[in-house]
Amino acid sequence: MYSEVRLSGAAALWRSDHSAGHAVIPADGCVDLILRDGRVDVAGPSTRWLETAPDGADGSTGLRLAPGHAAGVLRIDLATVADQLVPLQDLATAGQARHLRETMLRAASRSRRQDAVSRIAALGDEIAPWIDGARRFAFHAVPARDAAASLGMSERTFRRRMLATFGYGYGTLVRLERARRAQRMLRSGSSIADAAAVAGFADQPHLSREFQRLVGRSPAQFALSAA
């Protein structure tokens, strides 16, 4: 069983119980902190589809941070953990790891969940304005050069900051946003042709190739599973 609650514009808390794993998860560019069997792992920003791991004996609790919001929480270069599952203790200082683990333990406990929610809701909320700006530009597929100029950066600086803060480049963020838009349209009953055209794909074969890379299923398979 899986459940999820959004805590803020940048964070969501999820819970999974009795999953045997192997579920296909589309790439979303987010970072997850995952508590399983008392250990916290960091699932780095995903740029390709992945399979879930089996739940622990007491289930799994996760905190999902929106693209660009995890670097300030973990204080690391996210490009170093993209598409990887890494123990939190290998990335954070001892004090920071203890704090985040305690927060995740509270989130997993029904009696202490409200306190954890208050802590988690603030995580990643204080970010540089350019981060949300980059996401808006990517949603509209604004060229990288124009996005950088609008954000007051050179292309080189923009590229460096994207890699460190998001874990991937601006072009990848554009692809993720485009695929996310197509997924929303297919869930709402749009045809594959309409999803391809409105979401900004060159044609249906382009949509199909990107879905195989990012979603792990063909558009038809995704639409059928979402029906």
Helices (H) and strands (E) in the chain, counts: 10, 8
**Can you tell me the distance from the alpha carbon of 26 to that of 50, in angstroms, rounded to the nearest whole number?**
7
User: Looking at per-residue confidence, does 20 or 133 come out higher?
Assistant: 133
Looking at the predicted structure, is the pLDDT value of residue 51 above 70?
Answer: yes
Query: What is the distance between the terminal CA atoms of the chain, rounded to a whole angstrom?
Result: 19
Contact 158, 144 (CB under 8 A): yes
Looking at the predicted structure, is the pLDDT value of residue 125 above 70?
Answer: no
Contact 54, 20 (CB under 8 A): yes
Looking at the predicted structure, is the pLDDT value of residue 205 above 70?
Answer: yes
**Can you tell me the distance from the alpha carbon of 16 to that of 61, in angstroms, rounded to the nearest whole number?**
6
Looking at the predicted structure, is the pLDDT value of residue 30 above 80?
Answer: yes
Return the minimum-mean-pLDDT range out of 18-22, 66-70, 164-168: 18-22
Tokens linked to 108: 């997993």
- Residues for the chain: how many in total? 227
Is the pTM here over 0.85, yes or no? yes
Mean pLDDT value across residues 176-202: 97
User: Looking at per-residue confidence, does 105 or 210 come out higher?
Assistant: 210
Looking at the predicted structure, is the pLDDT value of residue 226 above 70?
Answer: yes
Nearest CA-CA partner of 120 in 10, 2, 16 = 10
Nearest CA-CA partner of 24 in 154, 214, 159 = 214
CA distances from 118 to 43, 107, 178 (A): 22, 10, 32
Taken in order of first residue, the domains within the chain and their CATH numbers are: 2-122 (no CATH), 128-227 (1.10.10.60)
Beta bridge partners of 15: 3, 61
What pLDDT score does 216 carry?
A: 96
The beta-strand segments (E) located in 59-210 are 60-65, 85-87
Residue 191: band (very low, low, confident or very high) from pLDDT cuts 50, 70, 90: very high
Contact 76, 37 (CB under 8 A): no
